[in-house]
Structures are given as structure tokens and as C-alpha cells.
């Protein structure tokens, strides 16, 4: 019996576009900005921030050194958050509806800068807080590991108090789903252009 729905954030709940972020960092003067960003994970200081290995202050200092110019923390943060487009209101409404039947959880590769700014603000569209949509949340920077590393799934199981066999994990990366599947999670791929609630309905959920 499925009791829990475990959601990825970017590409599933929140729309993202890495090209906007790359363009913004190029405008700030970051050399070879595109090399830092992959489809499902980042590289260099961006990855270290998502893993919780470095702090936001460390990240700002490293980026300033790489850019070699006078840029502020706010300029760096704004460029980084351009990765995020936003959350359509219908998805927020669907999360609230699903929560009437299931425990709803979040498992996201993200970083402290986005988490405490743009992501937090997007969940306020209905006059609610982020915590009003989920029974529990796990982020990579707090877990000190990133999907598809199996350690973050183990961290989620322990922290959220869920059983993999009672949980469907929804993600836009097959690699992440494969890692979860090896640990006993049920999985559902959310491809570009698909809506998680339509896929769940098709599964009879």
C-alpha cells in the first residue's frame, strides 16, 4: 500500500531553466559559466554548496575570485536564482489535494541560497508557507549528500520515518529514480512537459 509521495523539486514541482542562470553569470563575468551547470547536477563550488561542503560565504568568496571583479553577494545570489522560474499555482493546489490522502515529502538537491530565498518565496503564492505543503523535507545541503548518492535516500528514510516500499518517489532524472529503486522505493519519472498530478492519476492514485 502506498502511503507516501516523495517529490523532487526542480523539474517536478518548480520549473527551472539553467540557460537563464548561465546567461546571468556570463553577464557578471564568470569565465566559462556553462561548464558549471549540468542538466541534473552542478559542478565546482555550485556542487559543493549543494552538498553542504561549503557555506554561502565560502561560495560568494570563490565566485568573486573566479569573476575577478567587484560583484556583491546579492548579485551572485540573483544570478544563481535565475535558475528557478517558479511554481505554477495549479501544482501547489494539487499538492494540497494529495496531502488529504497521502503523506507528502520533499527530497531535493538544492542549496542554502535558493532554499532560503526564491524557493521559500514561491511557496507563499497562496498565502501559505513551504511547510504547509509537506509533512517533511530533506535537502542535499542539510543531508551532506546529493542524489543519486544512496546516502541521501537513507537519510530521508531515517529523517522522515518512511518505508521505501510504501513510498513513490517522483523525479525528472532516471538516474535518481534508479538509485531509489535499488533501495526499494516505487518510482515515477516526470518527463519535460508532464505534470506529476496527471501521472499519479494515470497510476490510479
pLDDT at 40 over 80: no
Every domain of the chain and the residues it spans: 4-15+87-202, 18-81
Q: How does pLDDT run across 173-186, given as a tens digit for each residue?
A: 999 999 999 999 99
CA distances, 52 to each of 58, 113, 155, 193 (Å): 11, 11, 14, 31
Q: What CATH number has the domain spanning 4-15+87-202?
A: 3.40.50.1000
Q: Residue range 155-170: average pLDDT?
A: 98
Q: Provide the sign of the torsion angle of the four alpha carbons 163, 166, 167, 168, taken in this order.
A: positive
3-class DSSP assignment, residue 167: strand
pLDDT at 141 over 80: yes
pLDDT at 203 over 80: yes
Q: What span, in angstroms and rounded, lies between the C-alpha atoms of 158 and 6?
A: 14
Q: Provide the sign of the torsion angle of the four alpha carbons 103, 108, 112, 116, taken in this order.
A: negative
pLDDT at 42 over 90: no
Q: What CATH number has the domain spanning 18-81?
A: 1.10.150.240
Segment holding 6, helix H or strand E: strand 4-7
pLDDT at 38 over 90: no
Per-residue pLDDT, 41: 76
Q: Residue range 19-46: average pLDDT?
A: 92
Per-residue pLDDT, 44: 95
Cα 173-1-193 angle, rounded to 5 deg = 30
pLDDT at 39 over 80: no
Active-site residue set: 8
Amino acid at each position: 500500500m502506498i502511503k507516501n509521495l516523495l517529490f523532487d523539486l526542480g523539474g517536478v514541482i518548480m520549473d527551472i531553466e539553467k540557460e537563464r542562470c548561465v546567461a546571468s553569470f556570463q553577464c557578471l563575468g564568470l569565465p566559462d559559466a556553462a561548464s558549471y551547470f549540468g542538466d541534473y547536477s552542478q559542478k565546482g563550488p555550485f556542487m559543493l554548496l549543494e552538498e553542504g561542503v561549503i557555506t554561502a560565504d565560502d561560495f560568494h568568496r570563490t565566485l568573486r575570485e573566479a569573476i575577478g571583479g567587484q560583484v556583491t553577494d546579492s548579485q551572485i545570489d540573483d544570478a544563481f536564482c535565475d535558475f528557478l522560474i517558479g511554481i505554477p499555482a495549479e501544482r501547489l493546489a494539487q499538492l494540497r489535494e494529495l496531502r488529504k490522502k497521502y503523506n507528502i515529502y520533499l527530497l531535493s538537491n538544492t542549496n542554502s541560497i535558493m532554499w532560503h530565498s526564491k524557493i521559500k518565496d514561491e511557496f507563499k503564492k497562496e498565502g501559505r508557507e513551504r511547510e504547509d505543503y509537506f509533512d517533511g523535507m530533506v535537502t542535499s545541503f542539510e543531508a551532506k549528500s546529493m542524489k543519486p548518492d544512496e546516502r541521501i535516500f537513507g537519510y530521508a528514510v531515517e529523517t522522515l520515518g518512511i518505508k521505501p516500499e510504501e513510498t513513490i518517489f517522483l523525479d525528472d532524472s532516471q538516474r535518481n529514480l534508479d538509485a531509489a529503486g535499488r533501495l526499494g522505493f516505487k518510482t515515477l519519472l516526470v518527463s519535460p512537459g508532464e505534470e506529476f498530478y496527471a501521472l499519479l492519476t494515470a497510476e490510479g492514485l
